Amino acid sequence: MELYIAGGVGEHGRNCFYVEGSNSSFLVDCGVLASDLEDPYPRLTQQQIDRIDKVFLTHSHADHTAALPWLYKRGFRGRLIASDETLRQLPFDLSKNISLERICSNGEGFDKDLAIVWGRSGHCPGGVWYRFSEGGKSILFSGDYTEDTQVYVCDRIRGISADVAVIDCAYGKDEVSYDAACNRLISKTKEALTSHGILLFPVPRYGRGLELLKLFSNHLSCVNYFGDEIFLDQVEAAKQETFWTRSVNINVSLQTYSGEERGIVFVSNPQLNAKAARATAQEVLSLGGRAIATGTVEAGSFSATLIAEGNMDVLRYPIHLHYAQYLQLIQKNRFTETIAYHSAEFPQKRDRRSL
């Protein structure tokens, strides 16, 4: 087995890993680097693309999937393998999709000679980690991973051996604990509600929005909550325990936003680049409100403009690992070599590894 890093190490985005096995080659994720408009795609040669037999996806977020249409345009005709939930969330039609649950029910299975083990990664609905092995060699990909969740289920990576492990380290040396980040988010949100009345939280279509609503519903009282259609649908679906979500009791009423002056508004568009999300943001700001980002803000996005204008704060809700957690995860497993991905703080030393 050989691993080639096509993106995602030494940078935040473009997550893409090419694995060449003895019988077939595959990709894990195929994302874009949103901050590089001139060269956002994975660093794959045409020869590598021609050899790819299948693409495994860890989850649906754009930094892991948005280069798929580019890959198809470059001639990829193989299979796309992901959890049913991830396939459902993908915003484009892709042929030859294969359900991970179908080939690996109960978290284990084979694709030809490739042995696959997977588990839920706690990061978003449909998100998974993988361990692949073939010919006595093995490699683990954590995907975007967190064990600190209130809503999503994480099958903790424990006691697993691998020759190489590619592990989420998105927060790098910023080692604020999960509890400290949540406490800061709660206290700053309370302050902002008192001084601004209405707050806008842009969140991904699938992921931390539900976690935020759960956190606020536990710690803030007498707040009105609003959301767009996608957000309302997710909250409704989360009322019942699913394979991806715990049974969470989010005890708030949620309505569509129509210009109210007090409360918290969720829009399912983290960078506020979509027209409708931008219009909601402008309306909230025109009422004296304030916007709060809880994840990475991409250069060139409308969210970045709001920060530059002084209309948006950034208060992280953690959904990845930082360096200390990355090291803790390594200690709980048996990995010969480890690679920290998803952070600019850990530059790529070599783009090729022979296992």
- Picking from 62, 170, 53, 165, the residue whose alpha carbon sits closest to that of residue 117 is 165
| Shorter beta-carbon distance to Zn ion: residue 61 or 316 | 61
| Shorter beta-carbon distance to Zn ion: residue 1 or 5 | 5
| Shorter beta-carbon distance to Zn ion: residue 165 or 199 | 165
Minimum Å gap between C-beta 196 and Zn ion is: 29
| Shorter beta-carbon distance to Zn ion: residue 89 or 133 | 89
| Shorter beta-carbon distance to Zn ion: residue 196 or 208 | 208
Minimum Å gap between C-beta 123 and Zn ion is: 6
Sorted by sequence, the CB contacts under 8 Å of residue 204 that are 6+ apart come out as 61, 124, 268, 270, 295
| Shorter beta-carbon distance to Zn ion: residue 111 or 144 | 144
Q: Which of helix, strand or coil describes residue 280? A: helix
Minimum Å gap between C-beta 28 and Zn ion is: 12
- Picking from 320, 205, 214, the residue whose alpha carbon sits closest to that of residue 271 is 205
Minimum Å gap between C-beta 268 and Zn ion is: 14
- What's the Cα-to-Cα distance from 270 to each of 3, 9, 38, 204, 278, rounded to whole Å? 32, 23, 22, 5, 10
Q: Which two tokens stand for residue 36?
A: 């590089």
Minimum Å gap between C-beta 71 and Zn ion is: 17
Minimum Å gap between C-beta 59 and Zn ion is: 6
Helix ranges (DSSP H) in the chain: 46-51, 62-65, 68-73, 84-89, 100-103, 178-196, 208-219, 229-237, 275-286, 302-308, 323-331
- Picking from 101, 100, 99, 142, the residue whose alpha carbon sits closest to that of residue 122 is 142
Minimum Å gap between C-beta 14 and Zn ion is: 10
**Residue 52, H or E segment:** strand 52-56
Minimum Å gap between C-beta 24 and Zn ion is: 25
Minimum Å gap between C-beta 13 and Zn ion is: 7
| Shorter beta-carbon distance to Zn ion: residue 226 or 346 | 346
Q: Is 24 within 8 Å of 52 (Cβ atoms)?
A: no
| Shorter beta-carbon distance to Zn ion: residue 61 or 205 | 61
Instruction: Name the CA radius of gyration of the chain, rounded.
Output: 20
Q: Which of helix, strand or coil describes residue 70? A: helix
Strand partners, 109: 116
Chain residue whose CB lies nearest Zn ion: 61
| Shorter beta-carbon distance to Zn ion: residue 141 or 216 | 141
C-alpha count within 13 angstroms, C-beta hemisphere, residue 117: 14
Interface with Zn ion by CB under 5 A: which residues?
Answer: 61, 63, 144
- Strands 108-111 and 114-120 turn out to be antiparallel
Q: Is 65 within 8 Å of 56 (Cβ atoms)?
A: no
Instruction: Report the distance separating Cα 89 and Cα 30, nearest Å.
Output: 15
